Chains A and B, each alone.
Chain A
Amino acid sequence: MSVQSNVEVHSEWGIVSARQAGRNLAKELGFGGVDQARITTAISELARNIYLYAEKGEIVLEGIEKKEAGGVHRGLRIVAKDQGPGIKSVREVMEDGYTTSGGLGAGLPGVKRLMDEFDIDSITGEGTVITVVKWLR
């Protein structure tokens, strides 16, 4: 199973399309209502960051699997990429209470808490890649 979809983000419409694609995939993979909402919220936040700070970029969604002692685990991976200005201090934006736009509890730390795995790479002047995964319980 390797459903993959790429959504371009350069407007608020792009954010909605990314959410839609994420929700469809989450449903397909068997995520429940609350986890679907978490996944789409994470996508919203990531896509908004692209739209606000990098102007354009893309969200890549993919169903993934990993083998574990208990059997095969399925999950959903979101990769948010842009070629924007990058983040000067990743440590700072990962700090709770640091918000430039998100408001209460949102922003990257909020995304990290909604998901099971979180990874960020950012180079000033080159852009940012954020990868998050939610595993099916």
Chain B
Amino acid sequence: MNLDIRTEELERGTLLYIGGEIDAYTASQLREALLPLTEKKGANVVVDLSNVNYIDSTGLGIFIGALKSAESHESYLKLTGLNERVKRLFSITGLDEVMDIEEEEEAQ
């Protein structure tokens, strides 16, 4: 299975749209797309997970790696569009308290 990954340039940084399931098989695709973005000093990296219905622990590991990379390269990582299941995963693992996760905006 493949991840659907699209990027959109922002004023200072990149918006990454991810679609699919992030698991042991697709995690490396996400890493290749995400990690280099966090290595630019001062970059704004926003990951839109609206079309991600499932993330397993390997997938979560990629976000942890990206967070550490952002911290050491002084870039900025933010996640948006998490569904309930995914949000729960970030909450259980305590990552919601160390990562910037944007609440879903109900009004369109």
Within the complex, are A and B direct neighbours (CB within 8 Å)? Answer: no
A contacts, CB < 8 Å to B: none
B contacts, CB < 8 Å to A: none
